[in-house]
Chain A
Amino acid sequence: MHSRLDACFAAAREEGRSLLVGYLPAGYPTVDGAIAAMRAMVEAGVDVVEVGLPYSDPTMDGPVIQDAADAALRGGVTTRDVLRTVEAVATTGAPTVVMTYWNPIDRYGPARFAVDLAAAGGAGTITPDLPPEEAGPWLAASAEHGLDSVFLVAPSSSDERIRRVAGIARGFVYAASLMGVTGARAEVGEQAASLVERVRAATTLPVAVGLGVSTAAQAAQVAGFADGVIVGSALVRVLLDAERRGLGEAAALDGIRALAADLAAGVRAAVPASA
């Protein structure tokens, strides 16, 4: 069975390139503003959209994503709004996944969330704090509704953990480039390439690298060894800066388009990984 993510990775592979995954949180600056920004980044070359579900206790996120999520929550964003966002973005044709801490799905009811996410046209979920040990019910609900379930591995993961995570993941494996929280870094962690290699030894699933990737040059570097390049904080920062400088929505969307286009060019200019 081929999921939307499978097809998307296969198409990129045929073009001989990695694909670009862009993250923005739902509800920031507003629900409709976030939808517009997500659509803009797809127009500019983002292949897969991660819709962040803003959460009160985002322990994996650095200050940029925390700020946007806090603002979205103060604005009253709900899980229903997140699903509405997925619905509006999925119509672009780009596979759209929800990135969320586990408790909001737990509270919504995993079975009900799977039904509603599938109905909204969502391709699956990324759940960074749901370990394989606790994932059974969610895997069953996801499979029943044709949703992919993406899990993370980290540089600290043992080969045994990587096999376990890769064994239950669907769509792709999310390799964290470094030990730390989300946010731009001057350099992509040097552990990223070796982690991708260790994941490839455990699975034939595509491997996408996230955390700390913010520029076209970094995207090109990561595209040299990974099947996907994930960018979050850098895109979120464009929206935060636009708000802080009092720029209008049009300018914010231009900023998103410019960065997304730059990153999309980056993944198409992959630097072959040095041996």
Chain B
Amino acid sequence: MGDWQAFPDASGHFGRFGGRFVPEALMAALDELTESYDRARTDEAFTAELDDLLATYAGRPTPLTDARRLTERIGGARILLKREDLAHTGSHKINNVLGQCLLTRRMGKSRVIAETGAGQHGVATATACALLGLECVVYMGEEDTRRQALNVARMRLLGAEVIPVTSGSRTLKDAINEALRDWVATVDRTHYCIGSVMGPHPFPMMVRDFQRVIGVEARAQVLERIGRLPDAVVACVGGGSNAMGIFHPFIPDDGVALIGCEAGGDGVATGRHAAAIAGGSAGVLHGMRTYLLQDDDGQTQVSHSISAGLDYPGIGPEHSLLHETGRASYRVVDDAAAMEALALVARTEGILVAIESAHAFAGAFGVARELGPEATVLVNCSGRGDKDVDTAARWFDLLDPEAGGEPAPGEDAPARG
């Protein structure tokens, strides 16, 4: 596929994927955003302000950690971790929102809306809005507001309005629907800060560009640490922004395998999963052509994952292209494997990772064993797991009943830990 900088093309396509499938009412805003971003990306004042915020506010560069005990325990390739969990607000999401919120200000808009699943993007957006003095409204599926209650409180502390979405399946995809409905009515003063490499052009490109800093840093850090490039880069994929961010600078490096880990939920065979590539087909959702979970009539199917942040029936269009061209490969990690990885990383490295990121670790363990001890695997540790303590405690039955925990499920529950 030659020149990867050529994607997307001028009309926002990544091969046959991407594009802009939105109501005409939003076209003017997308054109405005495309032009503003185009000017900003080459404007030294903009890039200097963003770089300064990333360094002095978000805590970049994030470190590269040698996961020695984990490497020993897995018994395969050397495992290096890109520590996005150490970025401000606890995940890579801050990279994108600082860029988009600066852009919002440049466009003369005063209000930012966002969707959120796990709450990490919502928290990051609320944070950037507080910092830059912008009004912030976050749409979150009602089901997610329950399983990520801590993040709802965080957003409200940061001054954001959190609106629980009760339409459709009450999860991330419906939060996106509601944000799009808000946007079409308020577009003259509102920017929709999409949290992943998805949606209509220019979002998949712009969010990727703001997240590329992960891969740019990691590539240089790995070179410095081991004197060569890694053999594989592994990341979890819901919409796919942390994966696109760490993959993109490595795309021209033919010897580096790029591996995305989709959320397998109860297993692809059960139909209860969120693996758009492994279990889906090409179609149109949320303004883009991409792989998605749909039935024979093109109705979106509800996704399932223990990870709210990966619980999305689609995937960013550039991932669909990377999959079809074979430049990246995608594996499925189910709930049980992800939770097992979460526990292992906690006990061997003292890092409590987000359940989203735990999917990347579970996938990386397999890759590390396949490649063997001479190889090096770079894992994107995209977020920290504080928000998931309640979910993990229930999964591993760590709560004392008298301390307020729900009783453990009965014998019919899947094997845990």
Contacts and interface: CB of A to CB of B under 8 A. Distances in A.
10 interchain residue pairs of minimum CB distance: A107-B298, A154-B25, A180-B185, A104-B298, A156-B28, A103-B298, A59-B180, A56-B300, A103-B284, A56-B299
A161 B187 contact: no
Given A107-B297, A161-B24, A179-B184, A133 B283 contact: no
A115 interface: no
Contacts, number: 115
Contacts of A151: 24
A156 B297 contact: no
Interface string A69-109: 01001000011000000000000000000000011111110
Contact of B283 (A107, A130, A158): A107
A262 interface: no
A3 interface: no
Contact of B184 (A58, A105, A181): A181
B294 interface: yes
Nearest to A108: B298
A161 B300 contact: no
Contacts of B185: 179-181
A129 B21 contact: yes
A56 B168 contact: yes
Interface string B164-185: 0001100001100100110011
A109 B306 CA distance: 34
Contacts of A129: 21-23, 284, 287
Nearest to A165: B24
Nearest to A58: B177
A16 interface: no
A174 B286 CA distance: 22
A73 B167 CA distance: 13
B248 interface: no
B19 A78 contact: no
Contacts of A130: 21
Contact of B21 (A107, A134, A155, A179): A134
Given A106-B298, A156-B28, A128 B177 contact: no
A66 interface: yes
Given A107-B296, A154-B25, A131 B168 contact: no
A62 B178 CA distance: 10
A202 to B, nearest CB: 13
Which among B22, B181, B188, B294 has the greatest number of chain A C-beta atoms within 10 A?
A: B181
Nearest to B173: A57
B20 interface: yes
Given A70-B168, A180-B184, A180-B185, A133 B19 contact: yes
B50 to A, nearest CB: 28
A106 B177 CA distance: 20
B181 A59 contact: yes
B20 A134 contact: yes
A158 B27 CA distance: 9
B29 interface: yes
A103 B20 contact: no
Contacts of A102: 21, 284
Interface string B243-283: 00000000000000000000000000000000000000001
Contact of B181 (A62, A78, A156): A62
A70 B283 CA distance: 20
B11 interface: yes
A216 to B, nearest CB: 26
A44 to B, nearest CB: 30
Interface in A141-181: 151-158, 161, 165, 176, 179-181
Nearest to A151: B24
A79 B298 CA distance: 9
A23 interface: no
A55 interface: yes
Contact of A176 (B24, B173, B294): B24
A107 B285 CA distance: 12
Contact of B299 (A59, A104, A105, A155): A104
Contacts of B29: 156
Given A57-B300, A59-B177, A153 B24 contact: yes
A10 to B, nearest CB: 26
A201 interface: no
Interface in B68-111: none
A157 B285 CA distance: 22
B187 A156 contact: yes
A56 B177 CA distance: 10
Given A55-B299, A59-B177, A156-B29, A131 B286 contact: no
A11 interface: no
Which among B22, B180, B298 has the greatest number of chain A C-beta atoms within 10 A?
A: B298
